[in-house]
Amino acid sequence: MSLLVLWLVLLLVAGLAACVPPSGDPPPPIDPLPGAEAFSAELQDKLASALAVKGVSYRPRTRHRRADDSPRYTNRLILEASPYLLQHAHNPVNWYPWGDEAFETAKRLGRPVLLSVGYSTCHWCHVMEEESFDDQEIADYLNRNYVAIKVDREVRPDVDETYMSVVQMLTGSGGWPMTVWLTATREPFYGGTYFPPRDGDRGARVGFLTVLKRLREAFDAEPLKVAAQASQIAERVRQIATGVASGRLPGPTPLHAAFRSFGERFDAVHGGFGGAPKFPTPATLDFLLRYHRHTGNAQALAMVTLTLERMAAGGIHDHVGGGFHRYATDVAWQVPHFEKMLYDNAQLARVYLAAYQVTKREEFARVTRDVLDYVSSEMTSPEGGFYAATDADSEGEEGRFFVWTPAEIRAALDAPNAEAVLAYYGVTDQGNFDGRSILHVSRPLTEVAGVLSLAPARLGELLDEARPRLYSARQRREPPHRDTKILAAWNGLMISALARAGVVLHEPAYLDRARAAARFVLGRMRPSGRLKRSYAGGAAHEDAFLDDHAFLAAGLLDLYEATFDLEWLREALALQETLAREFWDAEQGGFFLTGAEREVTLVRHKPDDDGALPSGNAVALENLLRLSELTSDDQWRARADDTLRAFALRLERGPTGAPALLSALDFRLDRPKEIVIVRPAGAGDSATPLVETVRAAYLPNSVFTVATEGGEVDRQRQLIPLVEGKRALRGIATAYVCEQQVCALPTSDPKVLAAQLAKVHPLPDS
């Protein structure tokens, strides 16, 4: 069978789903991995010592255990810090982490490489681990015929980005776990996502073990053809990743085109875009809020508000513990995939907060608090950083921790509260998820109150009383796994959300948490002065990527505008300077995902699409525009324009795939407001009414600073020339609203200030 025909057959199966003894005792013996070369004595000692350090409470994640519950098998992943890699440390598979050792071994043995990429809270990654990687027969074949590499996509986004582009090119879709076959030169010759273990499993005609065998046979029988095909695939990936700058700045056309396209895909009944599965799309919602502000288009705002309403009411929202799950498997947001990601919750908190500023609807502020309180209570480390994610599974079942029966509700609550919860959140004997119920708002509160013969206010009181009791009852269940690694990029997103919410919602505790997280990342994740990607096991790991620098800089800019502490502005400037020095594409413009000193897998990607996260280029671009306005330094504006030129064709040809870039373009096409408030020395909080007026307004395209006359103004003007020449008139706190360094009349009247802030220059039609 030719390799091409083999691929066509295998495409049918790829992509079915995506997603110790006490101290002093000798280390337990480690059984040889089935089919693998024996470990050296030195490696054996390292593995045994790493296992012994885990202690008596350690529960290995494997079915292969001895009578004393210790693991039979231990592989190299026990030496890693990533929670995802550690989950696979006791598979019988002879796993290697990504690195030269694995590829040199493959070259020495003349074998192909099996690359498996996932993350620790991925449901289908768990399924494939249990079905295939913990299976001795499959492990034996893998160990005899392949070199197997395991990668945490959240720690190595560069590896993930490269090989996901391969899988998408070969199969038309992608997801995790991602499974890719490589040569020893790191070039791919086949790929997919989840594979069931054997022929016929889960309805698949061809299972993972058969795929492994057929591809190894092809590798042996036609080595030159495999190498040639791998080289062609690698070259195609390089061609796709190498964009061409248009040489011109994009105008407003991509903004209007994206709005029309989003409108065509909008679900006018349930909110959101497209069908099931339905994902939160915070970057899209953020763009639509900006588009509404810049054009006055009511439909743009309506799409946002309906989506936020339906998400908050749906099962994707955790009505007991707070926060949002990863996505909904249905169109109505009712049945979620239950993992929770820090980045989703950070971005959604920001969008709900912005919607509150636009609409003044208190329910949007409540959801913002709900998300941030969840992160504070369940996702915050003792040192102040924020954990990455929690799993969907517990007790061996997806969602078991989050779902309820009527009996469980009644056991946790008094009768009036129980009946209120059962009716309002749609808990029934039949359930809506494997015989249990996912809490969701089944009907409006007023309607449920009428059915229960209660005043709406009384029903609200009963529900408020019930939530902490349900939370307490749920805490007695076995909780899902929590991924406690701390990622610089994702912490930057949460710092931004907390800083903004702290001042808009008058919650000083949020600001305190933003400061603590910023100090943690800057203090503990910059050994030797270089920012690292992740923090796990008490140490920082992996040089930081584009996203880490850009997202953290954005968070620090928001923290500066919340506190006016120049420390945060200086740190944001330093991060952007690192991006300019080490990540900038001097030929085409834009920023590479990886720094100049990082290994290149197949190509240096320049990300522009938004997936679950905004692209690093979009965030870096908006940072440049904000810094340009704050510092009046033309180098930032010039680099921002070069970035826009680099992605102009991308925005013209497919704008809906890059809504965060669209938002940055909206900033560039606007006349951003430069807001300065000067308070007289010794006047205390006399500027508060003016500051609160700015905080209440929705001003996405703006910069804001407050200074006190005297030494503070002198210090600020060194970094922020905007404050130069501005003073508190008549000894009263005074606000200056400027555009392109041309200022409206200074004012001490909050109403006049509000009117100045509300002035918008309409977005041209083309």
pLDDT in tens, 207-256: 999 999 999 999 999 999 999 999 999 999 988 887 677 778 999 999 99
Task: Quote the pLDDT of residue 21.
Answer: 37
CA distances to 615, 628, 648 from 251, rounded to whole Å, are 20, 19, 9
pLDDT tens string 94-128: 999 999 999 999 999 999 999 999 999 999 999 99
Sheet holding 742-743, edge to edge: 702-708, 673-679, 734-739, 742-743
CATH 1.10.10 residue spans of the chain: 402-476
**Element holding 261 (H helix, E strand):** helix 253-265
CA 620 to chain centre: 16
Token pair of 674 as six digits: 């430069």
The answer to whether 7 touches 170, Cβ cutoff 8 Å, is yes
Residue 3 has pLDDT above 80, yes or no: no
Q: Sorting pLDDT into bands at 50, 70 and 90, what band is 19?
A: low
CATH 3.40.30.10 residue spans of the chain: 3-241
Torsion of CA 251, 254, 257, 259, to 10 degrees: -100
Q: Select from 3.50.50.60, 3.40.630.30, 3.40.50.2000, 3.40.30.10 the CATH code of 3-241.
A: 3.40.30.10
Task: Quote the pLDDT of residue 666.
Answer: 98
**Residue 587 main-chain phi, psi, to 5 deg:** -90, -45
Token pair of 138 as six digits: 């499959």
Q: Sorting pLDDT into bands at 50, 70 and 90, what band is 18?
A: low
The answer to whether 32 touches 226, Cβ cutoff 8 Å, is no
Q: Sorting pLDDT into bands at 50, 70 and 90, what band is 28?
A: low
What pTM, to 2 d.p., does this model score? 0.94
**Residue 621 main-chain phi, psi, to 5 deg:** -60, -45
- Calculate helix-pair angle for 342-359, 298-313, nearest 10 degrees: 130
Compute how many other C-beta atoms are within 10 angstroms of the C-beta atom of residue 94.
23
- Classify domain 673-758 by CATH number: 3.40.30
CATH 1.50.10.10 residue spans of the chain: 253-393+483-669
Cis peptide, bond prior to residue 32, ω within 30 of zero: no
- In angstroms, the CA 543 to CA 682 distance is 45
Q: Sorting pLDDT into bands at 50, 70 and 90, what band is 167?
A: very high
Token pair of 58 as six digits: 């350690």
Task: Quote the mean pLDDT of the chain.
Answer: 93
Sheet holding 113-118, edge to edge: 95-97, 147-152, 113-118, 178-182, 188-192
Residue 386 has pLDDT above 90, yes or no: yes
Those residues whose C-beta lies under 8 Å from the C-beta of residue 714, and which sit 6 or more positions away, are: none
Question: Exposure pattern of 167-188 as b/e (b: 16+ CB <10 Å)?
Answer: bbebbeebbbbbbbbbbbebbb
Nearest by Cα to 126 from 198, 19, 204: 19
Q: Sorting pLDDT into bands at 50, 70 and 90, what band is 713?
A: confident
Residue that wins the pLDDT comparison between 520 and 685: 520
Question: CA 175, 177, 178: angle at the middle one, nearest 5?
Answer: 70
Q: Which residues, in sequence order, are bridge partners of residue 191?
A: 180
Residue 17 has pLDDT above 80, yes or no: no
CA distances to 331, 377, 389, 421, 435 from 267, rounded to whole Å, are 9, 34, 28, 28, 28
Given CATH 3.20.20.30, say whether it is the number of domain 253-393+483-669. Answer: no
Q: Which residues, in sequence order, are bridge partners of residue 340?
A: 390
Q: Which amino acid is at 36?
A: A
Task: Report the sign of the C-alpha dihedral through residues 283, 286, 291, 292, in that order.
Answer: positive
Q: Select from 1.10.10, 2.60.40, 1.20.1740, 2.60.98 the CATH code of 402-476.
A: 1.10.10
Cα-only R_g, the chain: 27
**Element holding 459 (H helix, E strand):** helix 456-474
Those residues whose C-beta lies under 8 Å from the C-beta of residue 586, and which sit 6 or more positions away, are: none
- In angstroms, the CA 184 to CA 424 distance is 58
CA 668 to chain centre: 25
- In angstroms, the CA 539 to CA 525 distance is 8
Nearest by Cα to 604 from 246, 188, 157: 157
Question: CA 658, 659, 665: angle at the middle one, nearest 5?
Answer: 95
What does the DSSP 8-state code read for residue 478?
P
Question: DSSP of 187-248, one letter per residue?
Answer: -EEEEES---SSTTGGG-SS-HHHHHHHHHHHHHH-HHHHHHHHHHHHHHHHHHH-----SS
Residue 4 has pLDDT above 70, yes or no: no
Task: Quote the pLDDT of residue 105.
Answer: 97
**Residue 9 main-chain phi, psi, to 5 deg:** -65, -45
Q: Sorting pLDDT into bands at 50, 70 and 90, what band is 411?
A: very high
Residue 134 has pLDDT above 80, yes or no: yes
Nearest by Cα to 55 from 88, 81, 22: 22
pLDDT (average), residues 179-193: 97
pLDDT (average), residues 556-577: 97
pLDDT tens string 456-502: 999 999 999 999 999 999 999 999 999 999 999 999 999 999 999 99
